[in-house]
Structure 1
Amino acid sequence: MTGPSRQRMWSAVVPAALLVLTLILTGCQAGQPRPPSSGRPVTPPSIDPAVPTVHFTAQGDVGLGTGARQVLDTIASLRPQLNLGLGDYSYRAGIEQEFCDMVTDKLGTDFPYQLVTGNHESDGHDGDIANFVKCLPNRLPGLQGEYGTQWYVDYPEQDPLVRFIMVSPGITFHGGNTLNYSQNSRRWNWTARALDGAKSRNIPWTVVGMHTPCLSVGRYDCQAGQDFTNMLIRKKADLVLTGHEHLYQRSHQLGGGTGCPILVPDAFSGDCITDSDASMVEGEGTVFATVGTGGVGLYDVRDDDSEAGYFASWSGGNRDPALGTLDVTATADRLSARFVPAEGYTFTDSFDIRRKKPLQR
């Protein structure tokens, strides 16, 4: 091939090659953040941008293993506004910074990963809550109380939709001291006032977080305390979130009344259930959810437990095992929650609580 023929060939080939190269380079450029490579893309809940909404996740009992990283990837893919840590983080002293680095690497350095202590870091033996608070500090404005131990915050700060109340009943601290949440104690009254204050401010939803549950189909008895648990029901907390049991369990809506003056652990009374389906009405009772599925090994659940009748759904080492997170959205009229499993797991659960009528705000 000579002269003009060769020139005509190159005049056709070169532009085409440049076009292909341009398309390749364009495809390699950074665009929208991608889901983590080790995580499973999860479709976030459908949120109307015109409707004020709070979107948060919650889980406890995390560790630093593969499971913890999978759960953090799941949280990242959901893109919540904040996360509630329900206690038990590193499970080893001296590596608190490593745990914090794992969280910030997955969720970002300024992400509100909000803490309350579990039993593994409260007394310093398997970590120290004071060190976790330093490397994962409070990121929410207006917080009241002692962050990491007992605090509440209204979110968002202006026209809040949720009051988050985080407490530490049943937890032993340095020197073997257990914080006093007995009836009419200072911490009991603080919690009761925080719940009452949300109602007086017409904040639509109250969410209580703490490490220890009372009711359970797992290993433990009522470490949170019977009286304290009944106070939460009597004050009409909408949702109570716990860890400690390495499993997921979600109660029916529970409330007091003529047939159920108090809820008694290690027993069952159908009169304490105010709603047994997955769509409930605000003010009729309290939903308890244990989300000890943040990454460490799972405990078995017991179908024959005396408290099993209080629960609508559960998952454990011997029954639909799943690590994952609770994913919650709240508007002025509705609180919706679903359990989102980490990659490789399939168990799910969902429920919602709706207001009878809109709040006058």
Structure 2
Amino acid sequence: NTSIISSSPQGITPAATSGNFVTTFQNGLSGYTGTTDTYVNTYAKTTNYGLATSLTAASYNALKPLFRFDLSSIPANAVVNSATLSFYASSWGGNSGSYQNTIYRVLDKNWVESEATWNIYSTGNNWTTAGLGSGTDYGTPVFTSLTGFNPTGPMWVNFSAATLVQNWVNGTYQNHGITYLTSGGPQPTFYSSEYAIDTSLRPKLVVDYTVSGEPEPEPEPWPLPPPGPFSFTLTGDIGASTLTTASLQNMASQNSAFTLALGDLSYSQITPESAWCNYIKGIFGENYQFLLEVGNHESPEKSGPDGNIDNFTQCMPTHFPITGNYGREYYFDYPYGNINTPPLARFIMLNASLPETYLNGSQAQTRVASYIDQARASGIKWIVVGMHMLCPTLGNKNCTSYSASPGPDLFNFLVSKKVDLIVHGHDHNYQRTKQLALGPNCLNIPVEDGVTNPVVADLDCVVDSDDSLIKDAGTVIVISGRTPNYQYGYEINWSDPEAPYFRTAQYTNYGYTKVSITESQLTAEFIATGTSGGGSATFSDTFTITEPN
């Protein structure tokens, strides 16, 4: 909570290697110089404030302070008992009322104090969303102050942050610091780490932690995957029912390199998020890479009712060398780590509509284009793009505002880039399109968008309708959202205007999709594990994409 404290707590880390310690991290105290801070300003988008002696949090996030503390002196095996972030507000603007002062973790941007502005976090590197975007550059609230308070003068503003500091210390999160936001009302101006008149009023972090007597050994590095062909599995809309368990056990028996979990994870059939993670680990093993992507059911931006993606990624981390924000927008190459052989495939995971929309002309779409172009320039053969939802579809979901799916822009953009395979869930069924491409007679693929309806499918956009496809001729979409969860399968509407784009679809058989990749061929198959009415599975689908001779 916000409070007034009379003086700065003191503390230094003793030389002993075990015991209980209380350390204050504040520039100028006991030789510490590890605090960096600045702010970004929507009214001066190219100005850096790294040398400013005061930092202001303005209403509606027009000014956003950034703070980071170097915690490298705390051992990785330390248990954080408490941690308090404190900022001295020398003055207040705005007014009282039902407003909040909140701190958020900066996700994956290693911002530089002397370079960060509204537009960039370091020279040549843009924020995902200019000015730091929610869900793209900073995460969910770490701690929120009391609402409606009416500060009357200078005071310390304190935030509890033990869980955040613990995750920084043990390596769960990289330490990129926090940003301080206010929704309106009281607008504090803080002294910064450069404030020189009274150094005891600089920002500080007080950490109470315990280190056991026996230090933990350094963990063994993860073995690199072998170069050459591999397989992976994918599914969305998962849950934790008895039928789900049977499907996942079958999936685990495939001994694939990893699994893409395409959103809508637990459906609260097991809570909290850590319990669902343990459920998955109990089936696949502790170290299996079950890679997560956000769905609408665990998206805090969409008020998802079934957990928070940030908690899921914390209990189901990855050791893959990813770039981006794991669980939201990120990519990785596989197999990785062989300096003599480029990876066979790049996997690009998008938080499409959760909250990013990837509209034409957006920074987000330009970003994805760079992921694709860079992969091809590096000699990576296959491009697979995954997300929770997209269009077209023959099920209940589509590109209308009702289902909140990303619009036609993202779909047509990915087809224009000729990515080999797009995979997603959201519809509780299995669907596979024909191979689609843009060309002289198909400048844009018409799909339902909630505005121009009904659409008329353009058959000039279909370049191949069978199961043996040619690489780089176009794009195939696979919807695999029938793990099953506890919900019913979504029926297939073959009278849908988008039906001519589809090769096959079904909703009565549940299961998952397995994809195998070699240098010259991608093979995908739906593996059915049961039927919604009971009895043996009857549906199958297999297709190949082959590099021409």
TM-score range, shorter chain: 0.7 to 0.9
Q: Which runs of 5+ in 2 are unaligned?
A: 1-225, 400-404, 449-455, 531-535
SS of residue paired to 2:414:
helix
Contact 2:357 2:410 in 1 (8 A): no
Which of 455, 459, 472 is the matching residue for 1:283?
472
Q: Which has the higher contact order (CA 8 A, sep 6+)?
A: 1
Corresponding position of 1:233: 415
Corresponding position of 1:294: 483
Which of 336, 346, 359 is the matching residue for 1:182?
359
- Counterpart AA for 1:203: I
Return the offset for 1:356: 1.4
Corresponding position of 2:314: 134
- Counterpart AA for 2:347: F
Q: Which runs of 4+ in 1 moved over 4 A?
A: none
Return the offset for 1:184: 2.3
> Could you list the per-position Cα deviations for residues 325-351 of structure 1 after superposition, in whole angstroms to 9, with x for gaps in the alignment?
110100010000100011442211000
Which of 163, 166, 169 is the matching residue for 2:352?
169
Q: How does 1:84-163 map to 2 (within 5 A)?
A: 84-92=260-268, 94-123=271-300, 124-140=304-320, 142-157=321-336, 158=338, 159-163=342-346
Q: How does 1:1-361 map to 2 (within 5 A)?
A: 52-92=228-268, 94-123=271-300, 124-140=304-320, 142-157=321-336, 158=338, 159-171=342-354, 178-222=355-399, 223-266=405-448, 267-296=456-485, 297-316=488-507, 321-343=508-530, 344-357=536-549
Corresponding position of 1:5: none
Contact 2:264 2:297 in 1 (8 A): yes
Contact 1:281 1:354 in 2 (8 A): yes
- Hey, what's the Cα distance between the residues in 2 that align with 1:277 and 1:144? 35
> Greater helix percent: which structure?
1
- Hey, what's the Cα distance between the residues in 2 that align with 1:235 and 1:218? 25
Query: What root-mean-square deviation, in Å, do the aligned CA atoms of Structure 1 and Structure 2 show?
Result: 1.5
Decide which moves more: 202-211 or 295-304.
Answer: 295-304
SS of residue paired to 2:253:
helix
> Could you list the per-position Cα deviations for residues 263-305 of structure 1 after superposition, in whole angstroms to 9, with x for gaps in the alignment?
1103311110011110000110000000001222311111111
> Greater strand percent: which structure?
2
Corresponding position of 2:152: none
Contact 2:357 2:406 in 1 (8 A): no
Contact 1:248 1:292 in 2 (8 A): yes
- Hey, what's the Cα distance between the residues in 1 that align with 2:319 and 2:540? 30
- Hey, what's the Cα distance between the residues in 1 that align with 2:281 and 2:227? 29
> Could you list the per-position Cα deviations for residues 25-81 of structure 1 after superposition, in whole angstroms to 9, with x for gaps in the alignment?
xxxxxxxxxxxxxxxxxxxxxxxxx98212100010001111210111111111101
Return the offset for 1:200: 0.8
TM score, norm. by length of structure 1: 0.80
SS of residue paired to 2:312:
helix
- Hey, what's the Cα distance between the residues in 2 that align with 1:139 and 1:253? 33
Return the offset for 1:225: 1.5
> Could you list the per-position Cα deviations for residues 3-42 of structure 1 after superposition, in whole angstroms to 9, with x for gaps in the alignment?
xxxxxxxxxxxxxxxxxxxxxxxxxxxxxxxxxxxxxxxx
SS of residue paired to 1:126:
coil
Contact 1:111 1:139 in 2 (8 A): no
- Counterpart AA for 1:278: D
SS of residue paired to 2:544:
strand
Corresponding position of 1:30: none
- Hey, what's the Cα distance between the residues in 2 that align with 1:298 and 1:99? 22
Contact 2:228 2:335 in 1 (8 A): no
Q: Which runs of 5+ in 1 are unaligned?
A: 1-49, 172-177
- Hey, what's the Cα distance between the residues in 2 that align with 1:106 and 1:311? 33
Corresponding position of 1:26: none
SS of residue paired to 2:251:
helix
Contact 1:51 1:331 in 2 (8 A): no
SS of residue paired to 2:385:
strand
Return the offset for 1:224: 2.1
- Hey, what's the Cα distance between the residues in 2 that align with 1:121 and 1:248? 22
Contact 1:66 1:295 in 2 (8 A): no
- Counterpart AA for 2:308: D
- Hey, what's the Cα distance between the residues in 2 that align with 1:121 and 1:252? 31
Contact 1:161 1:205 in 2 (8 A): yes
> Could you list the per-position Cα deviations for residues 198-220 of structure 1 after superposition, in whole angstroms to 9, with x for gaps in the alignment?
11111110000000121000011
SS of residue paired to 2:415:
helix
